[in-house]
Amino acid sequence: MQPILCVERDKKVNTISSVDSEGLVIEVQSTGQKISVTRAESIIDALARSGIEIPTSCQSGLCGTCKTRYISGDVEHGDCILSDVEHQEYLTPCISHIKSGTLVLDL
């Protein structure tokens, strides 16, 4: 078995301000619930804070346990397991963040 090599793509260290985080929202498609989220917060943490649990394992985008379909939104993918094609429809909420606006999850 070969070791997994993960290279972070386009990661930048940013200073997070309240202005940067304004307007970031997760919407749960099945219920219409809207959850405000900060740039510093992972999607999985924001969901858990609102009582929505998604199974996780590695918490670092390596296993795919938390792979979740999204309907729309601008996502900063941080995983090492999904392909570019999969990134068009799926994200790993344990490590992913919202770039801007609203992210609608197929939950």
pLDDT at 4 over 90: no
What pLDDT is attached to residue 22?
67
- Report whether 94 contacts 58 (CB < 8 A): yes
Locate all alpha helices (DSSP H) within the chain, ordered by sequence.
Answer: 18-21, 43-49, 84-87
Mode of pairing for the β-strands spanning 25-28 and 97-105: parallel
What would the DSSP string read from start to end of 53-74? ----SSSSSSS-TT-EEEEEEE
Mean predicted confidence (pLDDT) in 24-38:
96
Partners of 97 in the β-ladder: 76
Mean pLDDT of the chain: 84
pTM across the whole model: 0.78
For residue 101, which phi and psi values (nearest 5 degrees)? 65, -140
Query: Per CATH, the architecture of 23-105 is what?
Result: Roll (3.10)
User: Distance between CA 75 and CA 72 in Å, rounded?
Assistant: 9
Q: What percent of the chain has pLDDT over 90?
A: 70
